[in-house]
């Protein structure tokens, strides 16, 4: 049985549309107009035990809404879900003891207490044996390199150190499912790398189900073999990360280094991305890469040539841009 199963999950928010001015307020007392927003629209997927899945989408796409429904913080308007066999919004204690939700923009630790005391409070809440608690916390703090910060007030920790403490807090009861909502947001490059390494090692050792949302594509590329992409509440891609490029990118990048300065016009070979007197990078349609490389080698004194895929981050950015433009055109057509 899948560890996480969502079937037709839908969440609709109704917001009051108030007209301007005093007269608009008076009219609102008599007859109110509401707008409906489908934050999640018929979302369906399954995640097996041990999978590390990336959850991608632009701001407002519905990622956090889906995570909140799966963790029991929101009731869906319609649809069904199971997490470890439990219905999340029934909020049974048996399920609460087996999952964790970490939100990069919200604090779960007590601001005015040392991190160690906040963790002790969580130990008491979950009823964890002291010996087991010490063993888990010591192991996690060593992996995250924060042993010397355990007795520092949470408010005095850096953003990266607080995020590491949040991860320890989320994992002290050794959950089987972990939801991560932007865990590296705002962190510096070094802290991001350390958190990614920790999550990768922890997933490999414990085979914990992990669903990760992030706007940093490096998080997704380094940690996730599979991705879900959501936009306007609907999932439109579910599969291996490598297939995103195969499916949505029709180009490759061809980089050339020349033996001497090349002054000719290269626009006939492809879209010029970057050019210097002795090098150039071209964006070439996939089907023409072989022929274009042959023509370039014949036309120029080439000392080095490299063909690579368009970065995943660029593919995703273009994809969301195209979908936003298409949605805007459809709305204009309806009006």
Residue 133's pLDDT is 92
Instruction: Give the pLDDT score at 330.
Output: 55
Distance CA 78, CA 42 (A): 8
Domain chopping of the chain, boundaries: 4-245, 250-309
Give the full edge-to-edge strand order of the sheet including 78-83: 33-47, 4-17, 78-83
pLDDT of residue 320: 72
Which residue stretches of 75-234 are H helix? Answer: 93-96, 115-126, 130-144, 159-171, 189-206, 217-223
Please give the residue that has the higher pLDDT: either 246 or 118: 118
Domain at 4-245, CATH class: alpha beta
Q: Given this model, what pLDDT does residue 325 score?
A: 57
Q: Which residue has the higher pLDDT, 322 or 310?
A: 310
Q: For residue range 28-37, what is the model confidence (pLDDT) as tens digits?
A: 677 777 778 8
Mean pLDDT check: name the lowest of 115-124, 295-304, 317-326.
317-326
- Would the pLDDT of 188 be above 70? yes
Which tokens belong to 233?
């509440």
Alpha-carbon distance of 259 to 272, in angstroms, equals 19
Query: Does residue 331 carry a pLDDT above 60?
Result: no
Evaluate if residue 195 carries a pLDDT over 80: yes
User: How far is it, in rounded angstroms, from Cα 215 to Cα 247?
Assistant: 21
Cα distance between residue 78 and residue 64, in whole Å: 17
User: According to the model, what pLDDT value does residue 45 have?
Assistant: 95
* b/e code 153-179 from CB counts within 10 Å (16+ = b): ebeebeebbbbbbbbbbbbbbebbbbb
What pLDDT is recorded for position 335?
56
Domain 250-309: which CATH class? alpha beta
pTM: 0.78
Q: Which two tokens stand for residue 283?
A: 């964006």
Q: Which two tokens stand for residue 137?
A: 């916390």
pLDDT of residue 4 exceeding 90, the answer is yes
């Amino acid at each position: 049985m899948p560890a996480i199963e969502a079937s037709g999950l839908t969440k609709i928010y109704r917001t009051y549309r108030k007209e301007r001015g005093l007269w608009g307020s008076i009219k609102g007392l008599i007859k109110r107009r509401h707008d409906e927003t489908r934050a999640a629209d018929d979302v369906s997927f399954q995640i097996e035990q041990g999978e590390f899945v990336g959850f991608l989408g632009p701001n407002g796409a519905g990622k956090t809404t889906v995570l909140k429904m799966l963790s029991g913080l929101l009731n869906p308007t319609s649809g069904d879900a199971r997490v470890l066999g439990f219905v999340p919004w029934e909020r049974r204690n048996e399920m609460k003891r087996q999952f964790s939700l970490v939100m990069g923009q919200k604090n779960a630790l007590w601001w005015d207490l040392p991190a160690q005391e906040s963790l002790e409070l969580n130990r008491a809440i979950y009823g964890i044996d002291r010996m087991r608690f010490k063993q888990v916390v010591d192991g996690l703090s060593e992996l995250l390199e924060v042993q010397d910060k355990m007795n520092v007030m949470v408010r005095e920790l850096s953003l990266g150190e607080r995020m590491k403490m949040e991860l320890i807090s989320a994992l002290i009861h050794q959950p089987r499912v972990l939801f991560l909502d932007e865990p590296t947001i705002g962190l510096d490059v070094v802290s991001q790398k350390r958190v990614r390494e920790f999550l990768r090692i922890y997933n490999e050792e414990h085979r914990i189900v992990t669903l990760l949302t992030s706007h940093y594509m490096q998080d997704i590329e380094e940690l996730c073999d599979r991705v879900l992409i959501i936009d306007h509440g609907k999932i439109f891609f579910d599969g291996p990360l490598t297939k995103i490029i195969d499916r949505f990118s029709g180009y490759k990048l061809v980089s050339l280094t020349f033996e001497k300065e090349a002054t000719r016009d290269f626009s006939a070979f492809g879209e010029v991305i970057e050019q210097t007197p002795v090098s150039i990078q071209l964006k070439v349609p996939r089907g023409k890469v072989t022929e274009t490389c042959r023509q370039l080698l014949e036309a120029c004194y080439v000392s080095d040539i490299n063909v690579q895929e368009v970065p995943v981050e660029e593919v995703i950015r273009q994809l969301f841009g195209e979908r936003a433009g298409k949605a805007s055109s459809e709305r204009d057509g309806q009006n």
